[in-house]
Amino acid sequence: MTTPLEITRPPRITPAQRRARLARRQLLAARARVDSPEEAATAVVGLHATDPATVFLAAAARLTSPDVASVERALYEDVTLARIRCMRRTMFVLPAHLAPVAHSATAKNTHSHRADAVQRLRDAAGWDETRYAAAERDILTVLTALGAASAAELVAELPALRVQITTFPGKSYQSRQRVCAPILGALAADGRIRRSRPAGSWTSAQFRWAPSTPLPEVPAQEAKAALARRYLAAYGPVTADDLKWWTGWSLTDTRKALAATGAEAVALDEGTGYLLPEDAERSPESESEPEPEPWAALLPSLDPTAMGWRHRDWYLDPDHVPALFDRNGNIGPTVWWNGRIIGAWAQRSDGHINHRLLTDPGRQARTAIESEIHRLTEFLGTTRITPCYRTPLERQLAA
């Protein structure tokens, strides 16, 4: 006989089932890979873009035939991928159609970046609102005339922007920058300009700036529900803490967004998790959710899969965290086998991909990892990469 407790108890999702789902939804198993960078970005909601190289490497790991040109075309020619600051005030590259949703869902105040920039230049350079607004107009006029320009090219056209200021004086992260830097950042945050093709290779962060059309506003609650649904579809099952951390929302906003998706509760090792209703109805062992073939992957620093959850014990041994993360919680390049992080990799100055396994996964895994190293080496060619955020093991392997 079934007891009332058994009737109300939420279904349990095991770590193994979560790892199998990750392989398919995050496009990491070989058969799950896709043909375009737009599809790759959509599958994970967005590609971390604090480090420009991560965008290309994360896409390459999920593409059947990875190449730099297809990602550059999506970013700078077709503009089907948008680079914006959104979740946790972090830079992401998202499908262009999703950018308004992410922006509206994560921007507490669409004018806050500009207000911050005005205050910063008032404190550091004595500028008032009138002078700041004039500088904005001048920058937009030059960009419209040139089509695109780097910060250095803008300064050459507008000498008043050459003035240096000290940012965050007295802080450990105090720095010097030109007055144009906060203005450009605020214009980009408001969607009035965008980061265009960089001056240099695809690993460069020296972006040119181009005029842009501001992102359309989506009602905040509607945007939060839509973003939460996207996250659950790609990363579920997740805990409320996972969603709160990933978005940077308050707990109240997180709970409201979860409720708006109609998410259903499931039992996870770390507590209550949530799945979209259509996923909760599907048995993990059903034919529509086949077990993926054994798979290996080499993911870059800050890859969206590695950084996708607040609670990571189901795919990452806690003992390995000190070697794989920096002091600020940024993960370095990782080696994966069947949904677990089992090691790290780095590129040496001679181009060789060096790696170290933190556990012995067996012969089949080692063979698959060597194949992925060969695939990554072919993609990189003569390009040399160094992550923006260096981790202890990555530094050792790159030496």
Pairing, β 164-167 against β 81-85: unpaired
In angstroms, the Cα distances linking 18 to 12, 163, 235, 236 are 11, 53, 9, 8
Reading the block at residue 23, the tokens are 């392989």
Same domain, 395 and 288: yes
Same domain, 255 and 368: yes
Same domain, 283 and 390: yes
Backbone angles phi, psi at 227, to 5 degrees: -70, -40
At which of 159, 182, 211 does a domain end?
Answer: 211
Same domain, 169 and 116: yes
User: What pLDDT score does 30 carry?
Assistant: 95
Percent residues over pLDDT 70 in the chain = 95
At which of 164, 190, 211 does a domain end?
Answer: 211
Rounded CA gap, 399 and 346, in Å?
9
Q: In a structure prediction context, what are the per-residue pLDDT tens digits for the chain, which is 399 residues long? A: 455 445 578 899 999 999 999 999 999 999 999 999 999 999 999 999 999 999 999 999 999 999 999 999 999 999 999 999 999 989 999 999 999 999 999 986 445 788 889 998 999 899 999 999 999 999 999 999 999 999 999 999 999 999 899 887 888 777 888 999 999 999 998 889 999 999 889 999 999 999 999 889 999 999 999 999 999 999 999 999 999 999 999 999 999 999 999 999 999 999 999 999 998 776 554 444 567 799 999 999 999 999 999 999 999 999 999 999 999 999 999 999 999 999 999 999 999 999 999 999 999 999 999 999 999 999 999 999 999 999 999 999 999
At which of 193, 211, 229 does a domain end?
Answer: 211
Same domain, 237 and 354: yes
From 281, 254, 292, 287, select the one nearest 26 (Cα to Cα): 292
Q: Could you tell me the pTM of the whole model?
A: 0.92
From 159, 179, 187, 196, select the one nearest 81 (Cα to Cα): 196
The parent domain of residue 182 ranges over 112-211
250 CB neighbour count, 10 Å cutoff: 11
77 CB neighbour count, 10 Å cutoff: 11
Q: pLDDT by residue (tens digit) across 131-177?
A: 999 999 999 999 999 999 999 999 999 999 998 998 878 887 778 88
